Amino acid sequence: MDILRQLVLNIYSIALVNCFLLDDLTTVHIFVSPNGSDSNRGRDIWNPLRTIEKALLQIVEPGTKNKDVIIELRSGYYELQSTLKIKHTGPRQLTIRASQDQDVHITGGKRIPSSAFKRVTESMALQRLPSTSRNKVLQVRLSDVGVTNLGTITDYGYYIKRLAALEVFENNKPLTLARYPNKGYININTTYSDKKSFTYDSDQPKQWHHESDVWVHGFWYWSWSDRAYKVQHLDPEKRNITLSKPPLYGIKKGHYDASAISKGGYSKQGGYFRFVNVMSELDEPGDYYVDRERGILYVWPSNSVPYKDSDKIYVSIVPTCIEISSSAANVVLEGFSIEACRQFGIIASSVSKITLSKLQIQNTGSYGINTRGSNIKINQCYIRNTDGGISISGGDRKTLTPSRNEVSDNVILNFGRVGYVGSDGISCGGVGNHIHHNILYRGSYTGIHWRENDHLFEYNHLSKMCLEASDCGGMMTGRDWAARGNIIRNNHFHDIKRLVPGADVRGIMLDDQFSSVIIENNVFHDNDVHVNIGGGRNNIVRQNIFFNTSQYSMQIDARGHNGGGNTNVLIGNLNRLPYQNDLWSHRYPKLASIMSDNKPGDPEGNQITDNIFHSINKPHFRGQHIAKWFNVSENIFVPDESSFYAPLYGNFKPICLLKDFAAETSFPNPILPIDVGPRYQTGPVITNLVKPALGYLSGIPPTHGACRLKSLAKPPVSIYLPDGSVPNFIYNVSQTGCWFSFDKCPNHPAYEKTKRPLSMPYYRDMNAEMKDNSGTDETICLNKVSEMISKCGNGSSFAVIFGPTGAMTLGGDGCYFATYGCPRVKSMASGFIRDAWAEQHVNGAHEESACLSRALPQWRYCGSDPAFPLASIYKPTGHIKVAGAGCWIKAQKCPADNSLKHMFYDSFGATYLLTDDDIESCFSRAEYFWRKCGSHPEYKVTAYFRPAGKSQSFP
């Protein structure tokens, strides 16, 4: 049997050699195996070298100088003693790869045999351990297994690229340094003037014994800034802590409440922390603690106690596993695993033409890959359990020279495992990076954090971001007017929700006046907020699916108005760039002229168009000055999921109600889950890695049934209101002309009803109609109130009625209601009654806004009954505001559709588009009917959302 087996191996080896011989004669293969010897030549599989370091020395030998070199790594674990440095700069290519897709691991750690772990027997150690773990925790003296470099814990969190102390990994998963609490945080109670001392809300430290190296990790002031500090002094009895240094942004009282996170908003963020590196809190499976004074590692195994022989326990030792040196070029790393590095898996600065492909990088103290340069390709990698996935930058910003870097077809998950803020899935800077077809899943902070210019982000899938911080986004950037040319398209964002106190989290966050981003053709699904525009300019948001928000679809503001926000900082940063030279002016013409604007901090030029919004009972927009600075047009708002093909499967193709909208706006079919994320196998082939579960059902969706038809909603009320929504039964005038009914007109008493013949109770000025079109234009007619008051003089009182529509108003003095009863106050009169309260308390007789603001609260006071709408009328101008139920549409003129009434209740919108309940949906109908009427710029259409007493016209 042994002879036969050896024969098979020989045949396989000969076939393998023949395969390599087919390579070009300009290629050299160097073989390495953990079972080899560095005294070997390494030029065939029978005599491999033992270390990669020795193989790298051979690439400068005379026989390899002008040839491509492939270092073939045979299966096994390569335990590095120090950082593996690659200095290749030649024109020929150096490749280090897993030979024939074998299972290769390059590790910065050392394996501890399972048999080395023993039960804890020392009384001092047992005293420190919680009673629940004393018979579960195992220990090993690290020097007995050859580990003497334990490292030291240093500050981490908030954009620190952490250099970890010794960490422990069990069967490829990181263990947790013992801490309290295991989940959630402790609130700060009182702070002191030294800015580093405080009291806290817990008695847990009173149970500890002999803890001398305690750290704390928390969000000390903001919920977007975490940092860990060593404890200088701890008094458990007084619940008092003094830190080694003041936290970055200060300390404040905390309001963390794990049972009511949704209530812990912006004003209750920060001021909470947890204890770290506490042996007395080694209290659950997967915890560990290193006693650095005695050199002993304590572990509570995740599964079985004691460990099995098959368990792989590694501790990290080497800071960075692989360093590609400055100026290196033409290097390929492919097909193996890199793990257990205290800082980076790979670092490469000022390099070019570097390819990192089909790697698995896991269990690093900071970023799995940290690179800077040009023509860097990072593809098909699987990166997990890190404090950051990929950091990449390159190009020249001043000359706008693109880096041509590419990050594609990677899976990056579980990042930000120890330090949170700044441990991004992908951190992207410079000019001209292309980030596409990646999955980013479960990040403590943001998935993709970018800065600077001309990046393209497409076909990525981001979900479960902002798990430990607030005021962040699945993708985010901020505070730079000059960072233009960035495009975000054809991506999926979902399940990005706030889980800690603080400001909102968003699918995409354009923070602090960031400008000029194109966001198009994306799918946003089940996020708190889908997109945020934080006061920026010239952003374009178009043809996206905004499906199901728990707060609102878009959050927009004008924080830089009148020089507020970060306007001065932005101007200072802008002036450091040649933004007005020929190159920049040609590329970004709107940026070149930004300072010619009197108020460059205003959010001018934002376009929100051709999007599909879906949400039930949630506002679609939250923000200030929407109409003034944001062009929100040609969108549609739908409450019904049946207008999308199969949302549970991630298929948001518009159907049924949305079919016509999609055709009219050339809305593309939304990108499917199968088309985002990696197109190819990620990580080493031997690991057989697959995409993580991302929240959609798999398989083929069931066939969509017929579109459901509903009975159209009926108008909530048919009584007369002065806006002309139903026929005028109070004044029986002709259906042509502009009419007046004068009760009092002191300067012209002949106009008054009591002075006119009964056959002529109304007055019509035919001569005026011929001059000003008041007989054919409702607005001109009703706006004649001020003119007629001037003619009649003080004490006048009259009505103005526009015959063709029946719309009317009152002229004279004071603030009035038009009301038809108040269910809550039965004695309240009906008809036109004086609003005495407004006149007495808010100067309603002389301030139009005070008078008209009374309609909505009075309607609500009366019970918000749809059958009893109410209008406020300010008689000195005749202006009206109506409060009641429903969405009502008024068309100034409708040349393209004579069947459309002058003012009507939007029954279709109420039935299918939630227009009676959603103000944005109601307002969007003004634009819809304007187009239906022929898109005439001179004829406005107005939508009245009576439940809020508000209206909006288009255009």
Collapse the DSSP code of 474 into the 3-class scheme (helix H, G, I; strand E, B; otherwise coil) and give the result.
strand
Q: Is there a contact between 848 and 864 (Cβ–Cβ < 8 Å)?
A: no
Q: Which among 891, 875, 876, 719 is positioned nearest to 805, based on CA atoms? A: 891
**What is the reported pLDDT for 690?**
67
Collapse the DSSP code of 788 into the 3-class scheme (helix H, G, I; strand E, B; otherwise coil) and give the result.
helix
- Residue 354, CB-side half-sphere exposure with 13 Å CA sphere: 33
d(CA 191, CA 460): 44
Q: Which among 741, 754, 801, 794 is positioned nearest to 775, based on CA atoms? A: 801
Distances in Å between the Cα of 81 and the Cα atoms of 358, 579, 749, 951 are: 24, 49, 107, 72
- Geometric angle at alpha carbon 249, from 416 and 262, rounded to 5°: 60
Collapse the DSSP code of 210 into the 3-class scheme (helix H, G, I; strand E, B; otherwise coil) and give the result.
coil
In the numeric block, which tokens belong to residue 874? Answer: 């300010």
In the numeric block, which tokens belong to residue 418? Answer: 């120890």
d(CA 817, CA 12): 96
**What is the reported pLDDT for 111?**
97
Q: Phi and psi for 910 in degrees, rounded to 5?
A: -65, -35
- Geometric angle at alpha carbon 859, from 855 and 865, rounded to 5°: 145
Collapse the DSSP code of 92 into the 3-class scheme (helix H, G, I; strand E, B; otherwise coil) and give the result.
coil
Contacts of 465 (CB under 8 A, 6+ apart): 425, 440, 443, 445, 446, 447, 472, 473, 474, 496, 505
Q: Phi and psi for 10 in degrees, rounded to 5?
A: -65, -40
Paired strand residues for 557? 534
In the numeric block, which tokens belong to residue 720? Answer: 């007369």
Residue with tokens 């334990």: 150
Collapse the DSSP code of 560 into the 3-class scheme (helix H, G, I; strand E, B; otherwise coil) and give the result.
coil
d(CA 6, CA 9): 5
Q: Phi and psi for 260 in degrees, rounded to 5?
A: -145, 50
For the chain, the maximum distance between any two Cα atoms, rounded to a whole number of angstroms, is: 129
H or E segment to which residue 11 belongs: helix 2-21
Using only C-alpha atoms, the chain has a radius of gyration, in whole angstroms, of: 36
Torsion of CA 815, 919, 709, 543, to 10 degrees: 150
**What is the reported pLDDT for 12?**
46
DSSP-assigned states of every residue in 837-901 = HHHHHS-TTT-HHHHHTTHHHHHHHTT--TT--EEEEETTTTEEEEESSSEEEEES--TT-TTS-
Residue with tokens 């990580």: 683
Paired strand residues for 354? 331, 376
Mean pLDDT by 10 residues, the chain (955 residues): 47 48 74 97 95 93 85 97 94 95 97 97 95 96 97 97 98 97 97 97 96 97 98 97 97 90 83 98 98 97 93 98 96 98 98 98 98 98 98 98 98 97 98 98 98 98 97 97 97 96 96 97 97 96 96 93 90 95 96 90 94 86 76 89 93 93 94 95 81 82 84 81 77 88 90 77 88 90 93 93 90 92 82 92 95 95 91 95 93 88 90 88 91 92 93 90
d(CA 933, CA 943): 14
d(CA 439, CA 381): 11
Contacts of 644 (CB under 8 A, 6+ apart): 545, 547, 614, 651, 652, 653, 654, 655, 658
In the numeric block, which tokens belong to residue 625? Answer: 């000055």
Which of 275-300 are b and which e, b meaning 16 or more Cβ less than 10 Å from the residue's Cβ? bbbbbbbbbebbbbbbbbeeebbbbb
Q: Is residue 586 classed exposed, middle or buried when 0-12, 13-18 and 19+ CB atoms within 10 A define those classes? A: exposed
d(CA 398, CA 587): 12
Q: Is 229 left (phi over 0), alpha (psi -120 to 50) or beta?
A: beta
- pTM value is 0.89
Q: Which among 548, 521, 533, 786 is positioned nearest to 668, based on CA atoms? A: 521
One-letter identity of residue 315: V
**What is the reported pLDDT for 276?**
98
**What is the reported pLDDT for 943?**
94
Q: Is there a contact between 722 and 873 (Cβ–Cβ < 8 Å)?
A: yes
Paired strand residues for 447? none
Residue with tokens 């017929």: 706
Domains of the chain: residue spans and CATH: 110-177+284-314 (no CATH), 179-281 (2.40.30), 461-676 (no CATH), 738-811 (no CATH), 888-954 (no CATH)
Q: Phi and psi for 705 in degrees, rounded to 5?
A: -75, -175
One-letter identity of residue 519: I
**What is the reported pLDDT for 686?**
77
By residue count, the chain amounts to: 955
Q: Which among 400, 529, 505 is positioned nearest to 455, based on CA atoms? A: 400
Residue 537: how many CB atoms within 10 A of its CB? 23
